[in-house]
Amino acid sequence: MRRLMTPRFSPLEGGLFSSVSKADVGEGAGELIKAGVDVMAWADPFFPDPSIPASVQTVMAEAVASGLPSHYTMPIGSADLRGVIAGKLGTRNGITADPSRNILVTPGSDSGLLYAMMPFLEQGDEVLVPDPSYPSNFANCRLLGAVPVSVPLRAEDGYQLDPAALEAALTPRTKMVLISHPNNPTGTVFRRDTLEALARFVVAHDLILVCDQAFEDHVFDNIEMVSPATLPGMWERTVTVFSVSKGLGLSGFRVGYLVADDRIMDVLYGGAVNVLGATSTLSQIGAAAALKDETILPAYFDILDRRRRLAHAAFSAVPGVRMQMPESGILSWLDIRALGTATEVSAHILRTARVLVNEGEPYGAEGAGHLRIVHGCFMDETRAVDAYSRIAGALQLLSRDSQLLPA
Amino acid sequence: MRRLMTPRFSPLEGGLFSSVSKADVGEGAGELIKAGVDVMAWADPFFPDPSIPASVQTVMAEAVASGLPSHYTMPIGSADLRGVIAGKLGTRNGITADPSRNILVTPGSDSGLLYAMMPFLEQGDEVLVPDPSYPSNFANCRLLGAVPVSVPLRAEDGYQLDPAALEAALTPRTKMVLISHPNNPTGTVFRRDTLEALARFVVAHDLILVCDQAFEDHVFDNIEMVSPATLPGMWERTVTVFSVSKGLGLSGFRVGYLVADDRIMDVLYGGAVNVLGATSTLSQIGAAAALKDETILPAYFDILDRRRRLAHAAFSAVPGVRMQMPESGILSWLDIRALGTATEVSAHILRTARVLVNEGEPYGAEGAGHLRIVHGCFMDETRAVDAYSRIAGALQLLSRDSQLLPA
Ligand SMILES: Cc1ncc(COP(=O)(O)O)c(C=O)c1O
Ligand SMILES: Cc1ncc(COP(=O)(O)O)c(C=O)c1O
């Protein structure tokens, strides 16, 4: 039936016939877990350990006992959750949002991200996408008939977006800039001056910015986290994508939200039932409870701040591995070109350390020879550190083989 | 910013500036509920009463207490839920499905329905859509750049699909037939001979069938419920859409599933993360528990069978109202052309009976002068019947005014 499909979809494969390479989608990872492998390839904080905070458990248990979460909320999200989100946007993002006009709750930010792009993209439109970044940033463009245009991020620049690289990628077909901020996989937090230059570029060329802030919650070293929607001229041309998956560690709840100007949101509300449907009622209740509990983020911040240092210490000590200290979140991004291809090195880590990590290629052309490791796995620090050491040990073996280390 | 949007999206409105007409999306209905109005305009069984079965509550409470549903399942759905679904497809639908190759769990069937169509539809493709049917059936085509072509269902035919009407609507651009079966809003269960004719038509013209069986669970009067995917030549060209929202009364869980041949499913798995993201972990746990508990459907069947008779008795007794006995589910479909337009009559019901019902127009051109009433609201039969009487009373007033009743 592929013959009856559009050229945007017919090349897709879900890995029905290749369980390992598509471990993310199919049963591959499940089999590995059963075989005792640690999966550090899902951006799922604290996986696989229990991690619903007690305050959130209490509220959800009460909701289950009430028997009421069997019913739909409004497709745009429950009034309660939108109210809580509006408060959070004000205090944490500097965004003044009307909960009935500027906020759309989505069943996770994955579908939210695609939906944020959908109204704007026409066949052949070009989207500027920092490279490396979240694989969906490239794939979503293609699914919508648009063309992702890579804008390289360089290690030498600390992976900051280079305004000259944006200008160089611009064509008359450019319609949108799509960024993950902080960036996945590099963890980079784009600085105010970078974002101001980006904003001037977007306004000057009459573009749309889609800004995915799924990782905004844990930004270290007192780096300022600026929401581009707050910059001059940007509110009316930015759709910001948020999630409770990463910072609050509630990936399984599947709650995200889009924030935009009334005139964009009117359209997004108009298609919400069709494209997204409502979001799980119980998940919205849990998300609201988590957003209200002001102790969660600081507690996780401390854990994850320590983790990134431990991960960085373990991985960057290996000769041939280049890695910057993560500025945010739960991800380590390793340049392992001196040790082999990402496919070779990740296979070696799987075999030797029994840990599944991500190859860099899906994150863009710049991801070749890189690995992404979700160092924010496990609640238990001992177990996390043990996994880091096993990975480092495996890398060290390669290092030795490549004669980067004395034998 | 509408100027930067595609022509598919720029006309959409979410009712930011018209709270009543878009009660489904915005805050309108919430305001009405606060004002004491009964909402019988959402296809949400037993709304607003508690309706999570005890067995499901127990399993979910345990899951919450475990702290584990904070984590993602595989994007295609948890292995446990897919296993349970495969069993159900075998015993109830006569479909043999491999849980790792033919089943995709979706965050509700609304997004599942759009996704089932997405791989196939190209700009300008035509989709044959029975009229009246679920509003998304028309809207989804437009969002994907395709053209919905109405195939009228006639009251005289008991709203069965007329093979001649399908043939009459066929053009060289026809790519797909999209049906809701049982149909929303008419409740019609398409009969085996109707579906066999449809299958021959689909095969002969090399089309795709998307069949939305969200309402399959409660089919009355021993009418046979046939899944078209089981008919000759249809498995390889049918995507079937299912939901736990309607029959199991778990709309707020947001769990649906798509079932298709490996070759279609390989593509759907390939885009699953991007378009849908994973489904709520806790909702999947709850849905699996509900599918396993074989007492739920029979209990609801008895309640809803009685309800449709009570609703039919109340509404069809009003002079000027024409209504067939619902063959399935929770919906009454009233032809009220003798009493006024749907807008007038629904406004009158809202004012006089304090019940929100649906106007027929969004269900297609054939919906003009019709109302949809969700008679499957409320757990408590007394309260349901009271609402039916208030609606019937309001209709009777119009009847009298139209001199259809003696003064
Ligand atoms: C950058 C980024 N955005 C969005 C998502 C999707 O998150 P969710 O759908 O859980 O909200 C992810 C998940 O890995 C991500 O890495
Ligand atoms: C015919 C039909 N299909 C699908 C849906 C969507 O159901 P859900 O997204 O809750 O699974 C509905 C909801 O009203 C419906 O009426």
Q: Is A174 in the pocket of ligand 1 (CB under 6 A)?
A: no
**Which ligand is closest to the CA of B211, given by its number?**
2
Give the pLDDT mean for B252-270.
96
Q: Is the pLDDT of residue A30 over 90?
A: no
A21, pLDDT greater than 90? no
Lowest mean pLDDT among A3-12, A205-214, B10-19: B10-19
Question: CB of A283 within 8 Å of any CB in chain B?
Answer: yes
Mean pLDDT of A180-189: 98
pLDDT band at B405 (very low <50, low <70, confident <90, very high): low
C-alpha–C-alpha distance, residues B78 and B86, integer Å: 12
Pair of tokens at residue B347: 């406004």
Spatial distance between the Cα atoms of A266 and A263, rounded to a whole number of angstroms: 5
pLDDT, average across residues B53-82: 97
pLDDT(B30) > 90: no
Check pLDDT > 90 for residue A23. no
Q: What's residue A115's pLDDT?
A: 98
- With beta carbons under 8 A apart, name residues in chain B contacting A64: 52, 57, 60-61, 64
Is residue B196 classed exposed, middle or buried when 0-12, 13-18 and 19+ CB atoms within 10 A define those classes? Answer: middle
| Token duo for residue B399 | 């009847």
> A139 CA to middle of ligand 1, Å?
14
In DSSP terms, A256 is beta-bridged to A106, A243
- Hey, what are A340's tokens? 């082999």
The stretch B71-96 carries a mean pLDDT of 97
Question: How far is residue B346's CA from residue B23's CA, in Å, rounded to a whole number?
Answer: 13
CA A155 – CA B398 distance, rounded (Å): 74
pLDDT, tens only, A311-326: 999 999 999 999 999 9
- Predicted confidence at residue B401, as pLDDT, reads 86
Shortest-distance atom of ligand 1 to CA A244: 11
Residue A175 amino acid letter: K
- The mean pLDDT of B292-298, rounded to a whole number, is 98
The two beta strands, B238-243 and B208-212, are parallel
Closest CA of chain A from B221, distance in Å? 27
Cα gap B10→A305, rounded to integer Å:
44
B62: closest chain A residue by CA: A61
Instruction: Indicate if the pLDDT at residue B32 is higher than 70.
Output: yes
Which residues in chain A touch residue B110, judged by CB atoms under 8 angstroms apart?
A: 273-274, 276-278
Residues within 8 A of A (CB atoms), B 251-280 only: 251-254, 261-280
Q: The tokens of B386 are what?
A: 């009271």
What is the distance between the alpha carbons of residues B273 and B276, in angstroms, rounded to a whole number?
Answer: 6
- Helix or strand or coil: residue A219? strand
- Contact of A55 with chain B, judged by CB distance below 8 Å, is answered with no
Three-class SS of residue B240? strand
Looking at all shown ligands, the one closest to residue B376's CA atom is 2
Identify the helix (H) or strand (E) that includes residue A110: helix A109-117
Ligand 2 centroid to residue A52 C-alpha, Å:
30
What whole-number distance in Å separates Cα of residue B357 and Cα of residue A336?
62
Of B227, B82, B164, the closest CA to residue A27 belongs to B82
Q: What is the pLDDT of residue A31?
A: 83
Q: Average pLDDT in the B393-398 region? A: 97
What are the backbone dihedrals phi and psi of residue A148, each rounded to the nearest 5 degrees, phi first?
-75, 130
Q: Express each pLDDT in B346-365 by its tens digit.
A: 999 999 999 999 999 999 99
Average pLDDT over residues B55-60: 98
Mean of the per-residue pLDDT values for chain B?
Answer: 95
Q: Which of A183, A184, A246 to mutate to test the pocket of ligand 1 (most atoms within 8 A of CB)?
A: A246
Name the band, by pLDDT with cuts 50, 70 and 90, for residue A403.
Answer: confident
Q: Which residues of chain A from 159 to 188 reach within 8 Å of chain B, CB to CB?
A: 175
- Which residue is associated with the tokens 């109830």? B92
CA distances from A139 to A12, A120, B258 (A): 10, 16, 22
Going by pLDDT thresholds of 50, 70 and 90, the confidence category of residue A378 is very high
Residue with tokens 């999200």: A77
Q: Starting at the edge strand that comes first in sequence, how are the strands of the sheet with B256-259 ordered?
A: B103-106, B256-259, B238-243, B208-212, B174-180, B126-131, B147-152
Q: Which two tokens stand for residue B61?
A: 């409470």
pLDDT recorded at residue B22: 44
Q: Structural domains in chain A?
A: 21-51+296-401 (3.90.1150.10), 54-292 (3.40.640.10)
Best residue among A106, A137, A179, A184 to mutate for probing ligand 1, ranked by most atoms within 8 Å of CB: A184
Looking at chain A, the whole-number percentage of residues with pLDDT higher than 70 is: 96
Give the pLDDT confidence score for residue A19 in this predicted structure: 43
CB-facing half-sphere around the CA of B188: CA atoms within 13 A: 27
Cβ separation of B76 and A250 shorter than 8 Å? no
For every residue of A328-390, DSSP letters joined together read BTTEEEEE-TTT--HHHHHHHHHHHH-EE-EESGGG-GGGTTEEEEETT--S-HHHHHHHHHH
Number of helices and strands in chain B (H, E): 13, 13
Distance CA B225, CA A219 (A): 55
Residue A188 DSSP label:
P
End-to-end distance of chain B based on CA atoms, in angstroms?
55
Look at the block and give the residue holding tokens 């160089």: A168
**Residues of chain A above pLDDT 90, percent:** 91
- Kindly indicate the confidence band of residue B406, based on its pLDDT and cuts at 50, 70 and 90: low
What does pLDDT average to over chain A? 95
Cβ–Cβ below 8 Å for A14 and B269: yes
pTM score above 0.95: yes
pLDDT tens track for B113-164: 999 999 999 999 999 999 999 999 999 999 999 999 999 999 999 999 999 9
Query: B186 vs chain A: nearest CA distance in angstroms?
Result: 20
Amino acid B2: pLDDT: 87
Q: Is A244 in the pocket of ligand 1 (CB under 6 A)?
A: no
Q: Nearest-CA neighbor of B41 among B389, B357, B252? A: B357
Q: How confident is the model at residue A328 (pLDDT cuts 50, 70, 90)?
A: very high
Report the candidate in A239, A243, A247, A249 with the shortest Cα–Cα distance to residue A279: A243
The pLDDT of residue A18 is: 46
* Residue numbers of B between 22 and 51 with CB closer than 8 Å to A: 22, 24-27, 29-30, 42, 44, 46-51
Q: How far apart are the first and last CA of chain A?
A: 56
- Per-residue pLDDT of A75-125, as tens digits, reads 999 999 999 999 999 999 999 999 999 999 999 999 999 999 999 999 999
- Band (pLDDT 50/70/90 cuts) for residue A2 is confident
Q: What is the pLDDT of residues A52-77, one digit of tens each?
A: 999 999 999 999 999 999 999 999 99
Residues of A in contact with B12 (CB under 8 A): 119, 266-267, 270-271
Cβ atoms < 10 Å from Cβ of B155: 14
Task: Indicate whether B19 pLDDT > 50.
Answer: no
Which of A27, A75, A119 has the CB atom closest to B100's CB atom? A27
- Top pLDDT among B225 and A10 is at B225
pLDDT given at position B26: 58
Helix (H/G/I), strand (E/B), else coil: B104: strand
Q: CA A241, B280, B139, B20 torsion: positive or negative?
A: negative
Q: How many CA atoms lie within 13 A of B218 on its CB side?
A: 28
pLDDT per position as a tens digit, B159-180: 999 999 999 999 999 999 999 9
Total CB pairs under 8 A between chain A and B:
334
Q: How many CA atoms lie within 13 A of B248 on its CB side?
A: 30
Q: Read off the pLDDT of residues B321-355 as tens digits, 9 standing for 90 and up.
A: 999 999 999 999 999 999 999 999 999 999 999 99
Each residue of A190-215: pLDDT tens digit?
999 999 999 999 999 999 999 999 99
How many other C-beta atoms can be found within 10 angstroms of the C-beta atom of residue A310?
15
- Nearest by CB to A16, from B17, B42, B265: name it: B265
Question: Each residue of B221-249: pLDDT tens digit?
Answer: 999 999 999 999 999 999 999 999 999 99
Q: What is the pLDDT of residues A278-296, one digit of tens each?
A: 999 999 999 999 999 999 9
Q: Which ligand is nearest to the CA of B274?
A: 1
Window A:216-255, CB contacts with B under 8 Å = 236-237, 245, 249-254
Tell me what pLDDT residue B18 has. Answer: 45
pLDDT interval class at A26 (50, 70, 90): low
